[in-house]
Amino acid sequence: MADTSRVSLDITHVIYDPSSDMSLGLALLTLSPILLMPAYAALALQTRELTIINMWTGQFISEALNLVLKHMIKAERPPDTRLHLSGYGFPSSHSQYMGYFGAFLMCHVYFRHRFASTGCPLLDQLFRCFVYLGLITWVGVVAYSRLHLLYHTPHQVIWGLGIGVSLGIVHYVVTELLPHRRPLSVFGRARAAVLTHSVASWIQVRDGWAIWDDGGRGAEWKAWKVEYNERRTRISQKRDN
């Protein structure tokens, strides 16, 4: 007889209260971390940026650490018989995932990335504050969704956030900030070794933020704009002739 036992893939299976619009909204938002993995892959393939690849690597490290901690501590999820949840609950993997993501990205925006200027310093600062606030809100709502949907206790969520944020900051400082500030240190030499390796050269890995404050986006746009205008001019001349 065939084995008919089935288990739920918790990472994509969310139980919520269908009578509550808020519960539905939080159920959708609690799935948003899943979208980050294909986003990492698309950006890494498109840009070949070492910072993006490094951030993606740290995300996998965070997930591996969460799995190890869960199986070491073996803390149960909230005792709610309506959900029939499987797996351990400490620390919250969603909270840790978003904590790492938010901390690393905010560190990068604060220390390295510079957005295109609007010409008004006040508006530039307000935009940066808006980015920080947006990231904090996203991280906070995903973490809260784990509480609202009864998947974790406050203790599990807080620790998940704390571990994720700590890992994100440490990973950024060690692999991004120190190599930039102290290029002759062991961290700087290790990053240089990665960038100059034959495999990295073959797949065209680059470090845009080592050259440009915005990672090269502005320079790429200007190069495209020049080529686009020249092509339009040639097309216009052919039409007139």
Task: Return the pLDDT at 171.
Answer: 97
Residue with tokens 């070492």: 50
| CA 77, 80, 81, 82 torsion-angle sign | negative
Query: Which residues are registered as beta bridge partners of 49?
Result: 206
Phi, psi of 134 (to 5 degrees): -65, -45
More confident call, 82 vs 47: 47
pLDDT band at 1 (very low <50, low <70, confident <90, very high): very low
Task: Return the pLDDT at 90.
Answer: 86
Average pLDDT over residues 121-132: 93
Torsion of CA 195, 200, 204, 209, to 10 degrees: -30
Task: Return the pLDDT at 232.
Answer: 87
What are the tens digits of pLDDT across the range 187-220? 999 999 999 999 999 999 999 999 998 888 888 8
Task: Return the pLDDT at 6.
Answer: 59
Position 95 pLDDT exceeds 80: yes
Q: How far is CA 44 from CA 135, 140, 199, 220, in A?
A: 21, 26, 15, 17
Residue with tokens 């149960």: 76
Q: What percent of the chain is predicted at pLDDT more than 70?
A: 90
Q: Where are the domains of the chain?
A: 21-78+87-210, 215-240
Task: Give the 3-state secondary structure of the chain.
Answer: CCCCCCCCCCCCCCCCCCCCHHHHHHHHHCCHHHHHHHHHHHHHHHHCEHHHHHHHHHHHHHHHHHHHHHHHHCCCCCCCCCCCCCCCCCCCHHHHHHHHHHHHHHHHHHHCCCCCCCCCHHHHHHHHHHHHHHHHHHHHHHHHHHHHCCCCCHHHHHHHHHHHHHHHHHHHHHHHHHHHHCCCCHHHHHHHHHHHCHHHHHCCCECHHHCCCCCCHHHHHHHHHHHHHHHHHHHHHHHHC
Mean pLDDT (the chain, rounded) = 87
Task: Return the pLDDT at 164.
Answer: 96
Position 80 pLDDT exceeds 70: no
Nearest to 53 by CA among 39, 37, 40: 40
pTM of the model: 0.87
pLDDT band at 86 (very low <50, low <70, confident <90, very high): low
What are the tens digits of pLDDT across the range 131-173? 999 999 999 999 988 888 877 888 999 999 999 999 999 999 9
What are the tens digits of pLDDT across the range 30-64? 888 888 999 999 999 999 999 999 999 999 999 99
Half-sphere exposure of 27 (CA within 13 A, CB side): 15
Task: Return the pLDDT at 125.
Answer: 93
Residue with tokens 């470090």: 207
**Minimum mean pLDDT range among 67-81, 110-124, 167-181, 198-212:** 67-81
Task: Return the pLDDT at 25.
Answer: 81
